[in-house]
């Protein structure tokens, strides 16, 4: 599993569904560079069980993300048509109606592969035939990307394990606090609590450049 922290987030252009039902071609995270922080998260499949709980939980916290000037973008290996159908299915029927943030279609699985969250890989068998080993879906990866397009935080869960949206918000708060004040945030830090000065010259110099 690749560690992308400190590196530029992989670039892509893909189909997406935005505002709960509008198709967009060549959707890219580049539109946010210089403007917003981004929470970019992967989930395995539309019309499943754990996935809608996460997607709806992100939607329930959208005001908190928007207040922090953070864009939330989801992605799975489903087609844009599957995304559209799920977005237009009522919650009581297993849908995610009411979700407004973009859902990206990674039908080719290249975005998942470039972010190294694909839960398997293509290989050749003894007969020289290509086959896929593992699950051809994305793990539950989440990437916090700053306004320069650099990944500052990542977490990847196995397929059965849902994520904490509150923790994602806490990481946004920690990054934005550091960017504003230059102080580093200790374990379990929350807004309103004391942060720390990086006193070591090497650490201070490194942090000042990042």
Cβ(54)–Cβ(75) below 8 Å: no
**Is 51 marked active-site?**
yes
Cβ(174)–Cβ(143) below 8 Å: no
93 sits in the region (left: phi over 0; alpha: psi -120 to 50; else beta) called alpha
Pick the catalytic residue from 17, 45, 51, 168.
51
d(CA 70, CA 63): 10
Nearest CA among 43, 40, 46 for reference residue 28: 40
Q: Which residues are catalytic?
A: 51
């Amino acid at each position: 599993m690749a560690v992308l922290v400190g590196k530029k987030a992989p670039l892509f252009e893909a189909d997406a569904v935005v505002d709960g039902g509008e198709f967009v071609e060549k959707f890219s995270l580049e539109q946010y560079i210089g403007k917003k922080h981004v929470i970019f998260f992967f989930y395995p499949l539309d019309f499943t069980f754990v996935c809608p709980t996460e997607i709806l939980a992100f939607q329930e916290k959208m005001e908190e993300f928007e207040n922090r000037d953070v864009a939330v973008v989801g992605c799975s290996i489903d087609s844009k048509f599957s995304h559209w159908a799920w977005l237009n299915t009522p919650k009581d029927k297993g849908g995610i109606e009411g979700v407004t943030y973009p859902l990206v279609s990674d039908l080719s699985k290249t975005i998942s592969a470039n972010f190294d969250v694909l839960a398997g890989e293509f290989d050749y068998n003894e007969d020289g035939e290509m086959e896929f080993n593992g699950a051809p879906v994305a793990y539950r990866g989440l990437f916090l990307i700053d306004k320069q397009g650099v990944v500052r935080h990542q977490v990847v869960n196995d397929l059965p394990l849902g994520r904490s949206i509150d923790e994602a918000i806490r990481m946004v708060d920690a990054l934005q606090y550091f960017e504003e004040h230059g102080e580093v945030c200790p374990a379990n830090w929350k807004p309103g609590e004391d942060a720390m000065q990086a006193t070591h010259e090497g650490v201070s110099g490194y942090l000042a450049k990042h």
